[in-house]
Structure 1
Amino acid sequence: MQISSAWAQTETRLTWLDNRFRVDPAIEQISFIVTREQPSQSVVLVAPDGRKYYANRHSKTMSWYTDNGMDIVSINHPMAGPWQALGKVSANNGIRFISNIQLQAETLPSQLYQTEVLKFSAQLTQNEQPLLLRDFLDRVQLKVIFYPLTSILSNQSNQSNQSNESAPIEVGQFSDDGQKYDEVAGDGIFTVALNVDVEPGKYRVEIASINGVFKRVVEQTVLVYPTPIITSFVQSHQPLTPHSVDIETKADQILAGSLAAYLVVKQPQQKPTIIQQSSHLQQSHLVLSWPNDGQIGKAWWRGWAYVTDLLTQRELVFRLPQQNYTQVAAVAADLSSSLVQQQLKQQLIVHHEQQQQRLFWVVVTNIVIIISVLVVLLIWRRKRVVQSDLIVPK
């Protein structure tokens, strides 16, 4: 676990009639939790030197969170001595303060993969134990933010590369509700399913509280590499041919034989079905298929792929996002086949007509030739007869 700071750990409940409390000189940061009667406005804090602070007007060293019935004020390096909260402070809950909170977070792997999903936890602690003050924790929002880092080579000098940050990308919010990846609700351990859906590159990662209850940040630097799996979907257009998803891993990054996959498939007029499969030894890809059931309509599939990193032996999980498609039924295929047959038949008719036309012109040509020959023969014969009649007898 990585610790953002170390503060002295104390929680105190105060119910003095004048709502006064004393801050010890050793305290570096303190959070006041003031429960108010309803209806009421936010309290006014009075420092030992008489300065007054308000929810909408306070020192830069303060962060002030207010909602119905409660104020949470965090102060860095508070002035030592007696403080006072002026307002309708609840006689039952009074004023509580906790000091020197620690924000701890797991250390991210230095090498992440694009589209990878991993379980990641953080917690607030006191005396190295989870902080369980629900009034405080219920108003804490912890987020994971990726800040892209790019290198800029200076052309003006021989200095080394300087770092420049692009727009931040929020990739997850922690929860402590016992849902999804969170194991136990209300145990002070916040969990997030970290979806590394960012472009490959170098990032500065912040685990931060951003809602004003208190300001704490844990920073890490990671490298995001291109995803080591390639997924392709082949849709069937024939009833006897199944749909299929091919998942292939990169041999230089993923341990052979470690691939397993889980798909949820929803076809028209059917309940979702689950398809699971794992690779054999030395196998680097899987093909998961399901039948084209001949129903027309919209369909989809989504799932998960599980592999082992070859270099670090780290178990990796990749979400296969939902892919929608329209399924073509057998009737539509028959219609398509009938259309093709009609086109072929039409082509045959046209071809037959063309042959008939060619035959017709061949016959006509032959007849013309025969007639021409006969005409020539008749002319020639007549000339012979004429010449014979002109001969004088001896």
Structure 2
Amino acid sequence: MLRRLWLLIFYVPLCTWILIPSAWAQAEARLTWLDNRFRVDPEIEQITFVVTREQPSQSVVLVAPDGRKYYADRHAKTMSWYTDKGMDIISITHPMAGPWQALGKVSINNSIRFISNIQLQAEPLPAQLYQTEVLKFSAQLTQNKQPLLLRDFLDRVQLKVVFYPLTSILSNKSNKSNKSNESNESNDPTPIEVGQFADDGQEYDEVAGDGIFTVALNVNVEPGKYRVEIASTNGVFKRAVEQTVLVYPAPITTSFVQSHQPLTSHSVNIEAKADQTLAGSLAAYLVVKQPQQKPRIIQRSSHRQQSHLVLTWPNDAQIGKAWWRGWAYVTDSLTQRELVFRLSQQNYTQVAAVAVDFSASLAQQQAKQQLIIQNEQQQRLLWVVITNIVIVISVLVVLLMWRRKRAVQSDLIVPK
């Protein structure tokens, strides 16, 4: 019994000394450092501090190792400072090595967390895009080449996709106007925002909070050459990824034919360019809303070797506003890339058919017919009169000439 007691007295402290450093090391990363101080190593090129504050409180004051103080509205150009209710996110490029301190009502329940070596990684866009095309596009933030999953940080990150026009492929303007436009675009291109990333598990985003930001990139820009920039826009951190793409005209055309007769259907005609798309790969999906009816879905796909579709729905003769919208799908023949195009909502109005009084219409038709008959009879009578006059005159002329001839003969003296 004494032997077992001595063994417990000996081994328990040893195990405690072995386990405590490990537990302390794990807790140290989560707990606030003493007096809100933290040390930055010399090899760190970029660092971000996420400071949680008590409420109500103002933004913290950041004190550098050399004693310089930085504020949310007064800080160095190498800093980006994002302040939110109860939180400061401060990013510093090439921070001074040594002890830093955050002065303010730092919450005792949250640590000052450090994020270093943040990188923005984005999938490469296809070099050839199409106007009105919609494609799924993803980007991710990493820390030391590992996915960054700090929700307090990620929830405040805003990533946008911006197109900067470089040259125009299609232009109907004069050469002088083109040169002027190209000069303006190259000097000061007007940015076109085409999408914002989200990590909320909605629409194209697969999993909320997994650190992968996704956007339904709507390439609703004019055909041409663009510099595409993916960048942070809210000052949490400064990162950007760029590449150059070409935007071509859409390889499909869409036309809508509205019916004005109850027995004739409305129709949407979709035509794919045979030299740019695979035959038989065209499909479409429409949502149609007619007056006093719930939206209905119409789906069609082309048969083999076909490059067109016709989607129809009946005209129910109801009065009111109506609309349709949808999607078209086709395969690029050159790259075998599956293309998705949004068919923007098109509104139209269904009006009531004009009520017709058949009896009145019949009477009008009969009156018109009678008038036509009378006109024809008058024309015939006129021709008869004219013809008779011509005949009478002709007879009179003939008789007059005959009488003159006889008178001349009777006046002749014949010698015996």
Q: Which residue of 1 aligns with 2:339?
A: 316
**Cα separation, 2, equivalents of 1:298 and 1:214:** 47
Counterpart selection for 1:65 from 76, 82, 88: 82
For 1:189-268, what aligned pairs fall within 5 Å after superposition? 189-268=212-291
Deviations 1:229-281 (A, max 9, x none): 01111111111111111110111100111101111111111111111111111
**Cα separation, 2, equivalents of 1:111 and 1:51:** 50
Amino acid at match of 2:148: L
- Cα 1:17–1:148 change in 2 (3 A) is same
**Residue 276 (1) aligns with residue 293 (2):** no
**Cα separation, 2, equivalents of 1:368 and 1:145:** 90
Please state how far the C-alpha of 1:127 moved relative to its aligned partner.
3.9
**Residue 101 (1) aligns with residue 118 (2):** yes
**Cα separation, 2, equivalents of 1:106 and 1:340:** 69
- Cα 1:315–1:345 change in 2 (3 A) is farther
Q: Which residue of 2 aligns with 1:7?
A: none
SS at match of 2:35: coil
Q: Which residue of 2 aligns with 1:43?
A: 60
**Residue 31 (1) aligns with residue 26 (2):** no
Please state how far the C-alpha of 1:354 moved relative to its aligned partner.
3.9
**Cα separation, 1, equivalents of 2:245 and 2:68:** 44
- Cα 1:249–1:363 change in 2 (3 A) is closer
- Cα 1:127–1:77 change in 2 (3 A) is closer
**Cα separation, 2, equivalents of 1:73 and 1:249:** 51
- Any unmatched runs of 5+ in structure 2? 1-27, 169-174, 177-184, 391-416
Q: Is the 8 A contact 1:115 1:318 kept in 2?
A: yes
- Cα 1:144–1:356 change in 2 (3 A) is same
Amino acid at match of 1:351: I
Q: Which residue of 2 aligns with 1:177?
A: 200
Q: Is the 8 A contact 1:124 1:188 kept in 2?
A: yes
**Cα separation, 1, equivalents of 2:341 and 2:360:** 43
Amino acid at match of 1:122: A
Please state how far the C-alpha of 1:88 moved relative to its aligned partner.
0.8
Deviations 1:177-234 (A, max 9, x none): 1111011111111110000000000000011101000010010110000000011111
Query: TM-score under structure 1 normalisation?
Result: 0.82
**Cα separation, 2, equivalents of 1:166 and 1:337:** 65
**Cα separation, 1, equivalents of 2:363 and 2:247:** 56
For 1:1-394, what aligned pairs fall within 5 Å after superposition? 12-13=29-30, 15-150=32-167, 163-329=186-352, 332-335=353-356, 344=365, 347-348=368-369, 350-352=371-373, 354-355=375-376
**Cα separation, 2, equivalents of 1:367 and 1:164:** 90
SS at match of 1:18: helix
Structure with greater strand percent: 1
**Cα separation, 1, equivalents of 2:213 and 2:125:** 15
- Cα 1:77–1:333 change in 2 (3 A) is same
Q: Which residue of 2 aligns with 1:157?
A: none
Q: Which residue of 2 aligns with 1:375?
A: none
**Cα separation, 2, equivalents of 1:54 and 1:124:** 26
SS at match of 2:292: coil
- Cα 1:339–1:32 change in 2 (3 A) is farther
**Cα separation, 1, equivalents of 2:162 and 2:359:** 57
**Cα separation, 2, equivalents of 1:296 and 1:345:** 33
Structure with greater helix percent: 2
**Cα separation, 2, equivalents of 1:168 and 1:336:** 60
Please state how far the C-alpha of 1:346 moved relative to its aligned partner.
5.7
Worse-superposed segment, 300-309 or 342-351: 342-351
Please state how far the C-alpha of 1:82 moved relative to its aligned partner.
0.6
- Cα 1:353–1:137 change in 2 (3 A) is same
RMSD: 3.0
**Cα separation, 2, equivalents of 1:350 and 1:114:** 60
Please state how far the C-alpha of 1:351 moved relative to its aligned partner.
3.0
Please state how far the C-alpha of 1:368 moved relative to its aligned partner.
11
SS at match of 1:264: strand
Q: Is the 8 A contact 1:115 1:196 kept in 2?
A: yes
Q: Is the 8 A contact 1:149 1:165 kept in 2?
A: no
Number of matched pairs: 352
Deviations 1:288-341 (A, max 9, x none): 111111212211111111000000000000011111111244xx1554999987
Q: Is the 8 A contact 1:13 1:97 kept in 2?
A: no
Query: TM-score under structure 2 normalisation?
Result: 0.78
**Cα separation, 2, equivalents of 1:121 and 1:190:** 6
Worse-superposed segment, 339-348 or 166-175: 339-348
- Cα 1:112–1:350 change in 2 (3 A) is same
Q: Is the 8 A contact 1:238 1:333 kept in 2?
A: no
Please state how far the C-alpha of 1:102 moved relative to its aligned partner.
1.4
